[in-house]
Amino acid sequence: MSLPSPSPQSNPNPKEQTLSRSQVLVAMAVTAIIFLGLSKVWVYLANMSMVPLYWQPQHAAIGVGIGLGVALLSSVIFEIWESYRIAATEYLQMVLQPLKPIDLIWLGLLPGLSEEMLFRGVALPALGMNGLALIITSVVFGVLHMANAKYMSYTVWAIAVGMMLGAVTIYTGNLLSAITAHVITNSLSGVIWKWKQSKSV
């Protein structure tokens, strides 16, 4: 889940906001478990090594920079791309509206860890750790963020984010940068959205 960081607006289709806080949290947890499970099974069946995850201050700093950059860029795109703004608003209303501030920790950690383990940690090296692997994993990552056809613009953005996360993983050979960037992007976007929503009430 790669969240944009727009200003809150009224939901264009309020009927779609049907999820409760517990439903969102359970969905995040179940998805994380499934992705982590798929990662382990893939590594076992393919008898392969995943991209390592280890502490390296420079790689962590790169991840922080990417995370802040993605959050900032998504705010700009939100302002200038109407179809993205509509899709992002509906998506964020559905996902973030029911959550409490403390839940934003899980919003960052669960998708940030599980999605990076699967897409950048396992799928990327399994497909060759090259340009083609980067494209395939990024497209699949983006498509999985498309709830329906009207979220195509959001999917395009998720593909672009996936490309950035994959590229930094290939460059560093370490999952730390991608995980750090993903966690910061999701958490920061959620904090910004919640803060702006409270100011608009």
Domain that holds residue 73: 17-200
The residue among 41, 68, 38, 30 whose CA lies nearest residue 177 is: 68
Please state the domain count of the chain: 1
Inside any domain, residue 12: no
Inside any domain, residue 11: no
Inside any domain, residue 7: no
Inside any domain, residue 118: yes
What's the whole-number mean pLDDT along residues 64-91?
91
Inside any domain, residue 4: no
pLDDT of residue 5: 53
Rounded CA gap, 29 and 32, in Å?
A: 5
Of the pLDDT bands very low, low, confident and very high (cuts 50, 70, 90), residue 201 is low
Q: Please give the mean pLDDT across all residues of the chain.
A: 89
Inside any domain, residue 167: yes
Please state, in angstroms and as integers, the Cα–Cα distance from residue 71 to each residue in 4, 76, 160, 183, following that order: 6, 9, 13, 11
Please state, in angstroms and as integers, the Cα–Cα distance from residue 133 to each residue in 45, 119, 169, following that order: 19, 10, 12
Of the pLDDT bands very low, low, confident and very high (cuts 50, 70, 90), residue 110 is very high
Inside any domain, residue 153: yes
Percent of the chain residues past pLDDT 90, beyond the cut: 70
What's the whole-number mean pLDDT along residues 105-118?
96
Give whichever of 65-69, 96-100, 146-150, 152-156 has the largest mean pLDDT.
Answer: 65-69
Extract the tokens encoding 41. Answer: 């099974």
Rounded CA gap, 39 and 23, in Å?
A: 24
Inside any domain, residue 193: yes
Rounded CA gap, 142 and 193, in Å?
A: 21
Backbone φ, ψ for residue 124 (5° rounding): -60, -50
pLDDT of residue 145: 82
* Range with lowest mean pLDDT among 63-72, 125-134, 192-201: 192-201
Based on DSSP, count helices (H) and strands (E) in the chain, helices before strands: 8, 0
